């Protein structure tokens, strides 16, 4: 994996923290080019050129935020053959994996060109504003390593 883009939204900073840990793990695993940016400043045309694209969102009312959903729809308009896509979320309580599943469906129902790395990453926060629960960030590190090891045919 040579070029990885991470795009995320974060109201209180927890999902941003997950993005930072993933970025660090990718760098540690030798990925030479990694960009990480907030969804409102991400240029989908540029993001679509990366070998792997990771999209993260806090769970808001059982799914990704509106902006993230829109970004995924825009991304699904591109031919991403041979590339890897992966999703991550943060949630409270019983909503493990729900926003991730919705993001995966949002993409897969429109575009079958990229391989979606499954399962995505879903990390629990202790309250509305966080912090991330004990041990959750370590899963972000493992996820970054897993993505770094993916073989791409682009």
Ligand X SMILES: Cc1cc2nc3c(=O)[nH]c(=O)nc-3n(C[C@H](O)[C@H](O)[C@H](O)COP(=O)(O)O)c2cc1C
| Residue 93 CB, nearest approach to ligand X (Å) | 5
Q: Which two tokens stand for residue 52?
A: 């792997």
29 lies in the site for ligand X, by CB under 6 A: no
Please pick, from the candidates 88, 91, 107, 143, the single residue that binds ligand X as defined by CB under 6 A.
91
When asked if residue 119 is in the footprint of ligand X (CB under 6 A), the reply is no
Angle at 104 between CA 94 and CA 125, to 5 degrees: 30
d(CA 106, CA 142): 25
Q: Is the peptide bond before 136 cis (omega within 30 degrees of 0)?
A: no
Among the listed residues 29, 35, 92, 101, the single contact to ligand X using CB under 6 A: 92
List, in sequence order, every residue forming a beta bridge with 53; answer none if it has no partner.
Answer: 5, 85
Site string for ligand X, 48-87 (x = CB under 6 A): ----------xxxxx-------------------------
Distance from the first to the final alpha carbon of the chain: 10
> Which of the residues 95 through 114 are near ligand X (CB under 6 A)?
95
Side-chain half-sphere CA neighbours of 143 within 13 A: 28
Question: Is residue 88 part of the contact set for ligand X (CB under 6 A)?
Answer: no
Which residue, 15 or 111, has its beta carbon nearer to ligand X? 15
What residues line the site for ligand X (CB under 6 A)? 10-16, 58-62, 90-93, 95, 125, 128, 130
């Amino acid at each position: 994996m040579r070029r990885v883009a991470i795009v995320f939204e974060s109201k209180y900073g927890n999902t941003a923290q997950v993005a930072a840990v993933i970025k660090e793990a990718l760098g540690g695993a030798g990925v030479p080019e990694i960009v990480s940016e907030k969804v409102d400043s991400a240029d989908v045309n540029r993001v679509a050129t990366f070998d792997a694209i990771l999209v993260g969102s806090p769970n808001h009312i059982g799914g990704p935020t509106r902006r993230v959903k829109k970004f995924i729809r825009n991304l699904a308009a591109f031919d991403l053959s041979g590339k890897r896509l992966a999703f991550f979320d943060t949630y409270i309580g019983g909503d493990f994996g729900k926003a991730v599943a919705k993001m995966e469906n949002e993409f897969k129902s429109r575009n079958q060109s990229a391989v979606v790395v499954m399962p995505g990453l879903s990390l629990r926060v202790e309250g509305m504003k966080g912090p991330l629960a004990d041990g959750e960030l370590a899963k972000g590190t493992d996820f970054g390593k897993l993505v770094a090891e993916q073989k791409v045919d682009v």
